[in-house]
Amino acid sequence: MSIVFTCCLLYNYFIRYRHFKILETSPLQILAGAKHAQDFLSCRIKLMAKFPGHKLVFDELWIDDRLYKVRITDEENRHVENIFRKKQILYIDAGSEINHHTFAPPKTKSGSKIFLGYRVDDKRKYFPIDLFVEEAGQAAVA
């Protein structure tokens, strides 16, 4: 039994969460806008970076087939972009939607529809995020 536990621990630390560790995710809230307005969504990911900001760059969030910029803040809600240290707690929020992208969303076998895009040592990576989705009512647009 202890061998199974040790193997699971090593897998999670060195393979699954080798660049960062997801600590918490908030529900994905989708607030439908009027017919002429875009949908508004709220999504927050809390993670611990295992590399400093000059080696690990978070830059995109895919939700279904839509691409969003990310906003990175620290525990004091200060905008840090990619200036953070190793083992720092970061919060990643979905920013504005990028409408004119020329590449397709990542395809994996995980079944997840949400991916956090990042670069480590100039290599593009995607990490599947499992979030609970909440549908909200229609927004009042003035």
| CATH code assigned at 87 | 2.60.40
pTM of the model: 0.72
pLDDT per position as a tens digit, 93-140 = 888 888 877 777 677 666 777 888 899 888 888 888 876 444 443 333
pLDDT per position as a tens digit, 81-106 = 778 998 899 999 888 888 877 777 67
Distance between CA atoms of residues 89 and 20, nearest Å: 10
For 41-63, what is the mean pLDDT? 87
| Domain-located, residue 5 | no
pLDDT per position as a tens digit, 4-49 = 877 766 665 555 557 888 888 887 776 665 444 455 677 888 999 9
| Domain-located, residue 108 | yes
Phi-psi region of 87 (alpha: psi -120 to 50; beta: other; left: phi over 0): left
| Domain-located, residue 11 | no
* Domain with 131 in it: 19-136
